[in-house]
A = this chain, B = another copy of it.
Amino acid sequence: MKAIAIQRGERQLHVLDVPKPTPDTGEALVRTLRVGIDGTDHEVIGGSHGHYPAATDHQILGHEAVGIVEDANGTELSEGRIVVPTVRRLPPGADTNEYFERGEPDMAPDGTYVERGIAGAHGFMSEYFTSPTEYLIPVPDSFWEYGFLIEPISNSEKAIELAFAARSAFDWQPESAFVLGNGPLGLLTLAMFTQRREPYATFERTYCLGRRDRPDPTIDIIERLDGTYVDSRETPVDEIGDVHEKVDMVYEATGYGKHLFETVAALAPNGVGVLLGIPDDRSFDIDGGRIHRELVLQNKALVGSVNSHVPHFERAKESLATFPDWFLDALVTGVYSPEEARDAFEDDDTAIKTVIEFSAP
């Protein structure tokens, strides 16, 4: 079967011919429908994130997938069911560990998991994949087109769950949120905040940071979602209070190392900054005393978050169902065949979210 992969010692994509996988006991065989592309895939290709599966010379990419059960293999799933896979798995040959046992592999520390398509395990960018059924989330049939967005949305669901939890010891009444980053994850999160599902309904005013000139499709989306576009070249993150207002929540999805620190100044008292970006090492000078003091005297919090698991995928399904058609159409700027993979991975200002379609239901 066809698989989109990278090979050791190279930094470019190939369409390989690899054996179709056979499901083990407890696993189903899934025919792949669509697999989305995100920044992590580019980091994996560039070698700054993730690692190859053991004893292979290639890594099949892809962690944002939707597929259809081809062979239930005696499991409780029905053939023909549309499913979305989670990403983390036990390392090959490893016994279970406490994080997987309690259903929280997203909280597992380094070395106790692999991530499909990212770190130590093949991804979903192939015509078929297998998975233990506990990691396959059934979704409505109508989700076959956009179900690949459930994985990135689920990462935001988890991050925001952590952020709300961090403010749960008191009567927090947030009204404003500032999304850092107008990439797909930023725009998906802005849609979560503005499509008014609990608990995000609380955000009456939303802002989204970018560094683009008008006319620009991401600015159009931000404004159609009733968000306010903030151009970081005119209004740095830590100056939003001067131009608009200090905000109750900052959601960071840029991976820019200084945003963590600028977030503290952007937050209103009792606010929380939630961090999802993965910056490289980067040293700079900061007034650390001021940042520390503001966190304390204004009861602020910062929460880092990575990955997600079944409950977050379930909530992501609910969020996806609230997104209007125009938003999904505008967000997904390209659907490519496997043979067009290199085009799908091209990153320019007209591309927002692209996806590779392996088959239709």
1/0 contact string of A274-310 vs chain B (CB within 8 Å)? 0111111111111111111111111111111110000
30 contacts between A and B (CB under 8 A): A104-B170, A107-B170, A107-B171, A107-B269, A161-B169, A165-B167, A168-B168, A257-B288, A257-B289, A260-B291, A260-B292, A260-B295, A261-B288, A278-B297, A282-B289, A283-B285, A283-B287, A286-B288, A294-B304, A295-B302, A295-B303, A295-B304, A296-B305, A297-B306, A298-B306, A299-B304, A301-B302, A301-B303, A302-B302, A302-B303
CA distance A165 to B172 in the complex (A): 13
Given A104-B170, A257-B292, A277-B292, 9 extra CB contacts under 8 A: A107-B269, A168-B168, A260-B291, A282-B290, A283-B288, A284-B286, A285-B285, A297-B306, A301-B302
Query: Chain B: which residue is nearest A288 at the CB level?
Result: B257
CA distance A168 to B167 in the complex (A): 10
* Copy total for this chain: 2
Interchain nearest-CB distance for A170 vs B (Å): 5
Interface size on A, residues (CB 8 A): 58
Q: Is the CB of B270 within 8 A of A281?
A: no
Selected from B102, B257, B304, the residue in CB contact (under 8 A) with A301 is: B304
CA distance A281 to B288 in the complex (A): 7
Q: Is the CB of B279 within 8 A of A289?
A: yes
Q: Is the interface of A mostly helix, strand, loop or mixed?
A: mixed
Q: Which residues of B contact A212 (CB under 8 A)?
A: none
1/0 contact string of A89-118 vs chain B (CB within 8 Å)? 000000000100010101101100000000
CA distance A294 to B268 in the complex (A): 24
Q: Is the CB of A287 within 8 A of B295?
A: no
A205 contacts the other chain (CB 8 A): no
Query: Chain B: which residue is nearest A269 at the CB level?
Result: B109
